[in-house]
Structure 1
């Protein structure tokens, strides 16, 4: 299995508004950033990848497993952290992750190990017995990622994971995302080119529901570099060219 998600000919409308238009993209192993301004269609795309939304045309599959026809099997390979989420503040971190592992059908015999593995991955082993209500905003995000990976998914979807974090928390989360992408397919939606520069191997540029670019960061910047300023310049030039 290659843990590759393929999106073919996907469109989505909210009433009379087209959120996505004939999207054809592929997400292989590594970190792919979906970059675009608010309203570009990023959250809609992640909603379709996660099966929270159902494609109105086209298809989404994970290594040939269709997200509609084989929804249950497709979802077993996914972990998802939406932009807005709530955590049960009365539980400890390990209690919450154990509950999540049970919900994700992790066998009882390896549930404890799965929780410990997830805690190590997000660097929260020392907080296992701390109530979620006592954690910082950055740690809340880490717990959110831990619940998304507790069942060892091959694909991890993160919707604007650094929003609302201070610079130090944002830097730590970016390092975590980069590390997670070494072993799995990670899709990160963001409107921040700093996120792309710090985490991504590949980038999908979305603008007004249309894919303007899909490829490596180096290709996007024309070899100029992978800094946020390089990506900013390439993004602005791309959108301006498409608008002419």
Structure 2
């Protein structure tokens, strides 16, 4: 399967402390879950991929576009939902997505269609004319994902997408995210193995800034399947007390 993103030799330091060290990763269509203990480099990794952090060493390439040399074009192919975000509650869902599409440089002629496609992708077409203030927390998270895909990005980054949701809302989001990976690379940062079991095709484990595992869920659990308990056991065996 063709790679969407190539990460090569990426290293990052904060005041001399290593956050990432010589990270080499290929991201393909589908959902990749990033796991790791606190301080492992997960946030830094997403920061580099999203261009929120400037690369200190190495490179990130999205379909032939370098994130540093051609940052504008790279960002045009990127969608990002941070863990914490604020929505303009006075706007309707459609108004907000239309504004986001304009900000993401979606051509005017295709903007309405892009908004409708984003609404369909997150199953919010029936709520398009409701004010965001009237929606539940789970719906807010779906609107957040809709804004991240309105420009039809090749790379979609979701930081702790199920945090703060109730069980029903988490279940709905866990059903949604795999569908978004059909034609793009989706990266989710999470500390919940239940998220990995429900959503991910691949697992990337970071510890002390280095890649400790990069492979399929099947490979990660040594063929025991996508059960959270098996993922927990594999994770503990890999990172221990890191």
TM-score by length of 2: 0.96
Q: Aligned equivalents of 1:98 and 1:125: distance in 2?
A: 14
> Is contact 1:3–1:154 with CA below 8 Å preserved after alignment?
no
1:128 aligned residue: 128
Shift of 1:202: 0.5
Q: Aligned equivalents of 1:158 and 1:47: distance in 2?
A: 11
1:168 aligned residue: 168
User: Aligned residue pairs: how many?
Assistant: 242
Q: Aligned equivalents of 1:25 and 1:114: distance in 2?
A: 30
Q: Aligned equivalents of 2:182 and 2:202: distance in 1?
A: 13
Structure-to-structure mapping, 1:164-243, within 5 angstroms: 164-240=164-240
* Unaligned ranges ≥5, structure 1: none
* Unaligned ranges ≥5, structure 2: none
2:128 equivalent to 1:93: no
Q: Aligned equivalents of 1:237 and 1:147: distance in 2?
A: 38
Q: Aligned equivalents of 1:127 and 1:89: distance in 2?
A: 14
Deviation string, structure 1 residues 129-180 (Cα, Å, up to 9, x no partner): 1111111111111000000111111111111111111111111111110111
Structure-to-structure mapping, 1:5-154, within 5 angstroms: 5-154=5-154
Q: Aligned equivalents of 2:178 and 2:28: distance in 1?
A: 14
Q: Aligned equivalents of 2:37 and 2:203: distance in 1?
A: 14
Q: Aligned equivalents of 1:173 and 1:38: distance in 2?
A: 24
> Is contact 2:4–2:184 with CA below 8 Å preserved after alignment?
no
RMSD of aligned residue pairs (Cα, Å): 1.5
> Is contact 1:93–1:132 with CA below 8 Å preserved after alignment?
yes
Shift of 1:64: 2.3
TM-score by length of 1: 0.95
Deviation string, structure 1 residues 182-225 (Cα, Å, up to 9, x no partner): 12110111111111110111110012222110011111111111
| Structure 1 residue runs of 4 or more that deviate by more than 3 Å after TM superposition | none
